[in-house]
Amino acid sequence: MENKKWYQETFDQVHVPDKLLGKVMDMENQTKAKKGWRYAMGALGTAFALFVASNGICYAATGETWVSRVTIYFNGGSIEKDVTWQDNGDGTFLGTVEMDSDEETGLVMFRDDVDMTNNGTYSFEEDGMTADGNAEYVSSVIDCVVEEDEDGSVWVRVRVREDGVCKAETDITADLADGFAEGELPCGDGFAYHYQVTQTEAGEYELMLSAELSEE
């Protein structure tokens, strides 16, 4: 049998589960309902922000940082937290959450799609995963990937997701000789990206990426 036919006949039997299909179709109705909810939350958010302002923290309208309330889901539960947002001036925002010691520390989120006029409740779902140490949500406008070139060299590259333009790259071939490479990748976007690449026995690359506001 032809490989293509064999492949297609095999994957023809893979279907989206009925339950999920129903859920996806129903999302349209949920979205309509959610628009009203968002409006209501916007009013609450403003009240909350004024409260924060009276406690000495800058409010979005008057300064570079502001605070909003988020619900963070993790470890199968949820907590509500104040997030201090900072406008990086390049269309991205940095949000930092202070965590109590028994909740582990330093959950940091990057969001470039935060609606500044609507300080409502933002949800970040990571069911069943464990949060510990520092965590970053990398900007949704970039991709960071490990790529093998034709000559066998291995590169860490940061690309703009929309158009695929490479913003920064570094050759890690030599560093990776012992199966692990680590370093910084400045992209000129106000963040310093720190990468750790591990080559698995199966020949795949595992990439850990964290980002911090650059001092430059």
Binding of residue 20 to another protein (CB under 8 A):
yes
CB 154 within 8 A of CB 172: yes
Contacts with another protein in 33-62 (CB under 8 A)? Answer: none
Contact pattern for another protein over residues 77 through 96, marking x by CB under 8 A? --------------------
> Starting at the edge strand that comes first in sequence, how are the strands of the sheet with 191-199 ordered?
180-186, 191-199, 205-213
Q: x/- site string to another protein, residues 150 to 189, per CB under 8 A?
A: x--------x-x--x-------------------------
Nearest CA to 69 among 51, 50, 48, 40?
48
Which span sits near another protein by CB under 8 A: 47-55, 147-155, 169-177, 179-187? 147-155
Quick check: 96 and 83 in contact, CB under 8 A?
yes
Contact indicator for 134, 212 with CB cutoff of 8 Å = no
Q: Which of 41, 72, 83, 144 touches another protein (CB under 8 A)?
A: 144
Piece in contact with another protein (CB under 8 A), picked from 54-62, 94-102, 136-144, 184-192? 136-144
Residue of 28, 178, 215, 216 interacting with another protein (CB under 8 A): 28
Q: How far is the CB of 70 from another protein (least distance, A)?
A: 16
3-class SS at 39? helix
Of 215, 125, 209, nearest to 168 by C-alpha is 209
- In angstroms, the Cα distances linking 87 to 56, 65, 202, 212 are 18, 6, 41, 14
| Nearer of residues 143 and 175 to another protein, judged by Cβ | 143
Contact 104, 131 (CB under 8 A): yes
Contacts to another protein by CB under 8 A? 2-4, 6-11, 13-17, 20-21, 23-25, 27-28, 31, 74, 126, 129-133, 135-138, 140, 143-145, 147-150, 159, 161, 164, 202-204, 206-209
